């Protein structure tokens, strides 16, 4: 996306798009399996606004209702690759079976592709999500160290998968409530807080910071404070 003469120009998607998902649980694995099944012609993208939704163009009296994907430059599903982090070592097939959202018969048809997607070690702290106790986690003296480790993961994933672009969507569990405070008001304050392991900088915020610093669009898929603080909005 670029800006020209005060107007926003959305460029046509090209190459390969990497979608990184912190938290390879029910939501993430269902999304991944669904896209793979659609690409293989096993399923249809039922429920996907971008894939089967239509829009009206022109006056209401004119029957011109093309697919949204025919009008808006949306990246084609066939050029999408997935990756992510999780506190458990299960590959996407194993995690999808455990989630029990999709029928096992469908998952078995695409098992070959699902088992190849394995999580990277996650940034996790049980202080923010009390009911989980996974051990597949990153180690670091400070939260800044952990954020830098996430950035390294993004860089490695993009290179290994030959991605032209990467986006990140938080799919992890909802963290404990954190009220916006002074540590969230400026980049200097946040980075200082990360170096000092401030309690109001949860894992989801480290993922958001790392993504934005790497020029990767970040979407928050849970009611965490995450990216919704003045400093990260300004940084983005």
CATH number at residue 202: 3.40.50.720
Please indicate, yes or no, if residue 35 is contained in any of the structural domains.
Answer: yes
Chain centroid to CA 144: 20
Decide: 18 and 81 in contact? Cβ < 8 Å. yes
What is the residue range of 21's domain?
A: 16-235
Please indicate, yes or no, if residue 182 is contained in any of the structural domains.
Answer: yes
Between 11 and 23, residue with greater pLDDT = 23
19: confidence class by pLDDT, cuts 50, 70, 90: very high
| For residues 37-64, average pLDDT | 93
| pLDDT 10s digits, 194-203 | 999 999 999 9
What does DSSP say about strands 17-22 and 7-9: parallel, antiparallel, or unpaired? unpaired
197 conformational bin, left if phi > 0, alpha if psi -120 to 50, beta if neither: left
22: confidence class by pLDDT, cuts 50, 70, 90: very high
Distance in angstroms (rounded) separating the CA atoms of residues 209 and 215 = 10
Number of domains observed in the structure of the chain? 1
| For residues 35-62, average pLDDT | 94
Please indicate, yes or no, if residue 10 is contained in any of the structural domains.
Answer: no
Chain centroid to CA 166: 9
Say if residue 7's pLDDT is above 80.
no
Which DSSP symbol is given to 221? -
Label residues 36-47 b or e (16+ Cβ within 10 Å = b): bbbbeeebebee
Q: Tokens in use for 27?
A: 């939501």
- Please give the pLDDT value at position 171: 97
| pLDDT 10s digits, 107-153 | 999 999 999 999 999 999 999 999 999 999 999 999 999 999 999 99
- Please give the pLDDT value at position 10: 76
Please indicate, yes or no, if residue 6 is contained in any of the structural domains.
Answer: no
Question: Which value, in Å, is the radius of gyration of the alpha carbons in the chain?
Answer: 19
Nearest to 115 by CA among 135, 137, 95: 95
Please indicate, yes or no, if residue 9 is contained in any of the structural domains.
Answer: no
């Amino acid at each position: 996306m670029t800006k020209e003469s005060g107007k926003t120009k959305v460029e046509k998607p090209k190459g390969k798009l990497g979608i990184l998902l912190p938290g390879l649980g029910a939501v993430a694995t269902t999304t991944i399996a669904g896209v793979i099944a659609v690409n293989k012609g096993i399923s249809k993208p039922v429920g996907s606004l971008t894939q089967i939704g239509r829009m009206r163009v022109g006056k209401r009296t004119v029957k011109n209702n093309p697919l949204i994907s025919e009008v808006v430059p949306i990246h084609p599903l066939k050029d999408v690759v997935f990756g992510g982090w999780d506190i458990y070592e299960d590959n996407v097939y194993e995690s999808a079976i455990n989630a029990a959202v999709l029928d096992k018969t469908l998952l078995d048809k695409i098992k070959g592709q699902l088992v190849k997607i394995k999580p990277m070690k996650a940034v996790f702290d049980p202080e923010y999500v009390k009911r989980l106790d996974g051990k597949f986690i990153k180690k670091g003296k400070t939260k800044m160290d952990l954020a830098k480790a996430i950035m390294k993961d993004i860089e490695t994933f993009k290179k290994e998968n030959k991605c032209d672009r990467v986006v990140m969507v938080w799919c992890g569990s909802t963290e404990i409530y954190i009220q916006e405070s002074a540590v969230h008001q400026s980049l200097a304050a946040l980075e200082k807080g990360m170096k000092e392991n401030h309690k109001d900088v949860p894992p989801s915020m480290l993922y958001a910071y790392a993504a934005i610093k790497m020029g990767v669009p970040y979407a928050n898929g849970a009611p965490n404070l995450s990216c919704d603080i003045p400093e990260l909005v300004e940084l983005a």
